[in-house]
Amino acid sequence: MNDRDPGDATGRGGLPGADPLPRSSPIREAWPVVGRADELAALDAVAEEALSGRTRVVHLDGIVGSGKTTLLHSWLERADGFHVLRVRCRRLERDFAFGAVRRLLLPLIAAASDSDRRSLLGRAGNTAQRILAPDAPGRDDSSPYADAAATRLGLDDLVFGLSRGAPLLLAVDDLQWIDPPSLRWLAHLVHRADAPMILVAATTRTGERPAHGDLFNELLHPSLCRTLVLEPLSPRDVEQLVALVLGVPRPDPSFCAACHAATDGHPLFLRALLCDARRNGMRPTQENVEEIKAFGLNSLRREIGHRLCQGSKDMAELARALAILGDGIPHALLAAYCGKGEAVVWSAAGRLHASGLLRAGDPLRFVHPVVRGPAAHRGAHLRRPRPATRRAPGPP
């Protein structure tokens, strides 16, 4: 549930002669973090390890809409003792060499005084200076210095200098879309034996990895990294969320159970459901159980359609088959309808689940009935009628 984008990067703490950088403000209202006590405790434990002098990496993985970004930034607000820099990677910027590094470090450099900025850039070396200069244009991977060792070492020296005042916490949201040179630098940085106290916190979507899988594996190596997988919210978590969002200390258990059943504990769909309920003045009582089951969640239709457009043709065709044939259809029948093998159907089902549209397990079912309409509509565009073949003219 990427409910806020912290600009491109924000920092906490400051440099000598620089005003503290402002914390990012959420684009939408703050959303309560519930059901994540174990994950928050694990994040705190990794932070303590980093503060004790060990370079550490923590990795949050989950399907789309599972609340990774909300959890990460909620935790960053309480990560005392660190100088926090954060960046959210973007799908359309994967081809810009060191794009993530620029957006991670530039706000800090821009906030420094002129003398401190010159000192910081002086540590970085010539090629790194060209990347980090505020007026440097975006460059693609064909740049002659895009992955040079001198550039990485210059960035290392810059980061080492920044970490003298306080340990650095580098937060990278949507790591699966990071540009390869930035990923190579991060993987190189965390494995340096002489690295100062640095903590890297990253989020990824289940089933999605950067193009350079070897670099991804190096960054998240088990010797340095702890991976936390976000699961759906439990019925008890949903009850707590209903109480907080609808402002009723003791909501009816049957109403809460209906909310959980309608969404399978999926945080994004729960958010839409409860926000719609609040806008409609619905109270969490037994009398409203059937009404909450029938909520259409029309506010999510555009988001669902967007996810289907980003996916593969196999995903869209399977979603359309489920929309038309209904839940619980045998895989063999789905494969026959789509004109694909069962292995292709299984693979597409996994990607639909990772996109937050399909429930886990078997039989295959959408997370919420609202998915059915966009799925049928999107798949229809892929089944264009074949042009009629022209017959050769016969004898008169």
pLDDT in tens, 209-240: 887 889 999 999 999 999 999 999 999 999 99
Two tokens at 306?
């967007």
Residue 232: predicted pLDDT: 94
pLDDT of residue 86: 94
More confident residue, 177 or 163: 177
Residue in 233, 271, 272 with CA at minimum distance from that of residue 35: 233
For the cut 90, the answer to whether the pLDDT of residue 70 exceeds it is yes
CA distance 183 to 319: 33
- In whole angstroms, what is the distance from residue 295 CA to residue 272 CA? 10
pLDDT tens digits, 333-391: 899 989 999 899 999 998 898 888 888 888 898 888 888 888 888 655 444 444 444 44
Q: Please give the Cα distance from 331 to 337 (Å, whole number).
A: 10
Is residue 84 over pLDDT 50? yes
By C-alpha distance, which of 195, 185, 12, 6 is closest to 100?
185
pLDDT (mean) for 141-162: 72
For residue 112, with 0-12 CB atoms within 10 Å meaning exposed, 13-18 middle and 19 or more buried, which class applies? buried
Model confidence at 20: pLDDT above 80: no
Nearest to 229 by CA among 368, 357, 46, 58: 58
pTM over 0.85: no
Mean pLDDT of the chain: 82
- Can you read off the two tokens belonging to residue 386? 């074949």
For 263-290, letters b (16+ CB in 10 Å) and e give bbbbbbbbbbbbbbbeeeebebeeebbe
